[in-house]
Structure 1
Amino acid sequence: MEKSNIFKKILAIMGLLLIPIVGLYSYSNQISIHVVEEQIRQNSGDKLSFFVQQIDAEFDQYMISVNNLGIEPLVRAFISLTPSSTDSELFEAKLSVQEDLEIKGKAGILERAYTLFAPLSGEVVSTHNSISYKQKFVDMVHKGGLKPFIWTYSAEDNSRIPNAFVYRIVEPLFVYEDLEQADLVGEIRVDTRDITDMLTRFKADSPGDPFLYHENEAPIVARTADMKRINELLPLFEKNKEDVKQGTFLASLQNEQYMILYAKSEATGWYLIEYMPLENILTPITSSRNWFWLSLSLILLISVLSAFLLYRNVQVPIRELFLAAKRLRRGDYSVRVGSRKHDEFGYLFEQFNLMSEQIQHLINSIYAEKLHAREATLKQLQSQINPHFLYNCLFFIKNMTRIGERDAVMAMAVKLGDYYRYTTHVDQQETALREEIKLIHNYLSIQNMRMDRIDFQIKIPDAMLELKLPRLIVQPIIENAIIHGIEPREGAGMIRVMGLSGEQGYEIICEDDGVGLSEQELRRLRQKISSNAVLDESCGLRNVHQRLVHKYGGTSGLTLEQSAEGGLRATIRWSALPSERE
């Protein structure tokens, strides 16, 4: 029955159904995550690349504009000034250049500050907001070491002079190492505050946090940037970046996954980096996944609950009916199936109980009829005299008469008459134990007089002598002990008959020290007396056992075991009747 357990089969089927569902969803979820990551990588990479190209384009325009300053008329007039020029000439030339540079500085995405220095006249023109910057620039020219024709980053210590990207020119070109001999030294400064504003606007339309980075400088970030996170991610960038113009990689920081995209500016040499937490990007997919697992768990819970209800309301009743049917097949016709259900199983149980009850009634009726037939046969057997036993007793009387043993003849005649008077009295099927013991005493006395080698002891409590039990229930046990136990052995034999009483019933133990039985023979004899099959051969012990079981039920019957004295120990056991317990 365990192999066909419906509950286990249902759980197994649910498990088999869930495996492909979970597998397909996991695969689909991974594909979705991969597609989203690729899409974000592509879109964000394109935006990052466009931003860098925009900066490079702007810086290239600024570089061209400052490189062309030397050929403009206003600048040429500024360069031609000499120490002997009048104040009016100096003021007019410087004012014209100043206005032109201010217009140039405001054109484009980023504002620029221009500064021009003419070493011949020592004059300086600058659109820088700081008044002191002119003198600082002149000092840098005199000091030397400026790198012209390349974009550099200038990190200032003075709060009035912001950090900036700087591009410088020298005319003529061949004197860039000796700026004192130059006609013109100029520079253009792109304030990083404007780049910060660009990064802030870029961040507003992006899921990540962009910033500009160079390994030797502090990063340029948006106004709302998370500097702590940026500083934590920079070592990962240095470790994973490749020498390419644009790239992407995934990094883990504090149990959180980040997608890091970067693009290198050809003009400045700086990297534009954008990092974005994958958890934020994949929130819709993660939410969908969580809802899937929650729904799947709920479905699984409902399925298990449904399977359990099916098991309890179908499998358990079927199992109860199955076990009851097995007991019925083994001959237990008293089995009943209890159920309070009012469904199909309740009706089925009711019909099974009715069928079992009818079978039990039919079996009991048939068994009673067979028992009556056996009792009739027993009455017929009791009415017949055992010729062999009678012949032996008559020969004993003849021999004792021949030798003049008158007392022995008288004793044998009296006991033999009492014995046959009891066995042939078939009107009543029950008798007092006292009468049954008297019969046993006569029978053993007759056998002892005939063989003169049988000793016996009978100890029955007085409280048991008036108990009622079927007639001839002990004599077959004693006869079996003499014929199969004492007679085959050499020398004298002993037979003991004892009575025991308890709260639940009574016992009569008949024990001999005869030849006994082997374990195999004893096992066959036990099977023979317990069998319900009809036997062709006569078996007095089986008849005793069946009569006790039918009359008293329960644990009543005849049990056989090896005797400690070497023979056989037979125990007649019957349950006390309600009237006897009181």
Structure 2
Amino acid sequence: MPNRRNLLSVGLYPKIVLVFMAALLPVLMIGSMIVVNGEKAFRREINMSLSSRIHFYITELNTAFDYIANLKREYIFDQDIQKFNALSSIMSDYDRRVGVLDIEKKMLTLKSSNAYIADAGLYLMSEHKVIYSNRIAYHISEQDAAVNNLLNRQTAPVFQWNGQLMMAERFPEGTYDNGSLPAYWLEIVLDRGKIESTLAQMLTESGGNAILSDMDGEWRVSGNEVDDRFERHMTELYKGNAEMTGQRVVTVDGRHYIAAYERSPKANIALTLYLPEEIVLKPLAVYQMWFRIFIATAIAIIFLFAYWIYLFLQRPLQRLVRAFRKVSEGAFDVQLKSRNRDEIAYFYEQFNRMMDTIQALIRDVYEESIRSQRAELKHLQAQINPHFLYNTYYRLHRMAQDEDTDNIKRYTQLLGDYLKYIARNAQEEATLRMEVDHARTYADILKMRFRDNLTVRWGALPAEAEHIPVPRLIVQPIVENAFIHGLEELDGHGILQFSAAAEAKGLTLVVEDNGDRLTDEQLSELAGQLRNRKDWSETTGLFNVHGRLVLKFGPPFGLRLSRSRLGGLRVEIHLPIDEEVES
């Protein structure tokens, strides 16, 4: 029992770590041994395969080049060619023509004798002709003769001249200096395409390459097109090594290659074959698969233990954490249930009791808040006082004195509509259409009062916004504020403008004027007071409207103040365009 108690007292994390180490370490050791031994075995096989492949193909190329060299010696000492060279000057034109055609046939035979010969040409100084296998050139240029300068110092059987690989032989043999030339010489052009094809046959894996080069690094032929710098790097493997064959791992541009080479001093050539290490080790996939199986088994065991711990401890704790997170987000109706009779069940029971207590307290606070909000709303509406009535009746008196019957009719009609609307104390809300019409009535009354000193620009209300329920008296006080603080004492012509625009996030009503009494400092101070209710010095006008809109629709809505393009104050009334707004 004591040992069991000590085990149960160990935390969750140490248990997982111990199980992980006990289950994973042996599997990793076995898998690592399999992978390492398998990689070594495959490397040995690949090295043997590369060496065998290189030896086979360099032997084939050596044989072909030796055969071509023997043909070259045979044709340079051909009796018919020597006889024609010695006697062509005294031959008749017919005999000379027959002799040239015979040599052309010999060149064709030479070309056809080996697949690595692309062309053969005999340069006859006595005739100033070059006889090829399929054509005759009647001029030997200085560039053609310059090959003899290279042959004076060239000892390798194969060399590069004018971008072509060739073998050459002169008659008579020797060194020709000071512009002297042999009687004739034979040039055999090797077929670079055939060599490339042979090298390409060596490439059974993608991504590798085979490169044939001379041991002096003068020329290179590869089975695949690669960067010249890359080729040069690979063909320098054998430099500084006395062995004729060798292998090593080379890193170029961050990529590892297994490279092997073999040299042939007789032909003065070297063959290099390299393959990407990841391609070569691809057969290790079988070993790696078994290794992954072992790893998967170990992980499965770990997950079984971890799931057991999760099922009986971690998941109940997570449910409790999620419940607390929901409570922090405002969801107070969360209840937890447990099927077991353990410590977790005790935690759940105490949590449920705590939530019941919190819900009871919230209901009390919420009901008190609703009552307070409704009382404040009625108080704010009751404070709206049509203080402009005495000016209105004074204007009506003046029109009566002037016996202006038509304007009296319109004026009294507007005034009656205005008083009828504000007298509806029983109603806390109205449609936005009614609110806008009431504000327009107020503006028309003041328009008749100011006459030509005031221009009212009244935009249309979007049809989809006409039936939105809003608190009463939210537009008219803004218009009244524009008259009292912006236009009433304006020296020039006054402009009042109303517009409405439906947007994706709601509806915006704009009331702006061209008053000149509002400074930037006053505007900034007024906007700051609007954002901070503690700074409200009154509950009428702008603050009245803003407070009721926030109470009704929430903080995202209400008033925004800025400078109008007309020069005065711009008041934006932001409203939701639908009715699904949390009050």
What range describes the TM-score normalised by the shorter chain of this pair? 0.3 to 0.5
- TM-score (normalised: structure 1): 0.46
- Higher-Rg member (1/2): 1
